[in-house]
Structure 1
Amino acid sequence: MSNALRTAALLALTLGASGPASAWDATLAAGVTRESTEVLRLALQQDFQRSWWQSSSGRLTGYWDAGYTYWFGDKSASNHSLSFAPVFVYEFAGERVRPYVEAGIGVALFESTEHESHDLGSSFQFEDRLGFGLRFAGQEIGVRAIHYSNAGIKQPNDGAETYTLHYRTAF
Structure 2
Amino acid sequence: MKKMICLAAAAALSMGYLANVQAAGVSLDIGQTGDSSSNTVYRLGTQFDFSSKWFQSDVGHVGGYWDAAYTYWEGGESAGSHSISFTPMFVYEFAGETIRPYVEAGIGVALFSSTELDDHDIGTSFQFEDRIGAGLRFNNQELGLRAMHYSNAGIKQPNDGIETYSLHYRLSF
Q: Shorter-chain TM-score: what band?
A: 0.7 to 0.9
Flag structure 1 segments of 5+ consecutive residues without an equivalent. 1-21
Deviations 1:15-52 (A, max 9, x none): xxxxxxx8320000100002310000000000001100
Select the residue among 100, 118, 121 that pairs with 1:119: 121
Q: Matches of 1:110 and 1:44 in 2, distance apart? A: 18
Residues 1:48 and 2:50 aligned together:
yes
Select the residue among 102, 105, 108 that pairs with 1:106: 108
Equivalent position of 2:24 in the other structure: 24
Q: Matches of 1:85 and 1:74 in 2, distance apart? A: 27
Deviations 1:110-135 (A, max 9, x none): 00000010100000000000000000
Equivalent pairs, count: 150
Code of the aligned partner of 1:94? G
Q: Matches of 1:93 and 1:23 in 2, distance apart? A: 18
Kept in 2: contact 1:37–1:75 (CA 8 A): no
Q: Normalising to structure 1: TM-score of the pair?
A: 0.85
SS of residue matched to 1:158: coil
How much identity, in percent, do the aligned residues show?
65
Q: Matches of 1:46 and 1:79 in 2, distance apart? A: 26
Code of the aligned partner of 2:164? T
Over the aligned positions, Cα root-mean-square deviation in angstroms equals 1.1
Q: Report which of the two structures shows the higher radius of gyration computed on alpha carbons.
A: 2
SS of residue matched to 2:147: strand
Residues 1:130 and 2:132 aligned together:
yes
Code of the aligned partner of 2:25? D
Code of the aligned partner of 1:27? S
Equivalent position of 2:16 in the other structure: none
Moved more, 144-153 or 31-40: 31-40
Equivalent position of 2:75 in the other structure: 73
Q: Larger relative contact order (C-alpha < 8 A, sep ≥ 6)? A: 1
Q: Normalising to structure 2: TM-score of the pair?
A: 0.84
Runs of 4+ in 1 over 6 A off after TM superposition: none
Code of the aligned partner of 1:23? A
Q: Matches of 1:47 and 1:170 in 2, distance apart? A: 10
Q: Matches of 2:24 and 2:96 in 1, distance apart? A: 23
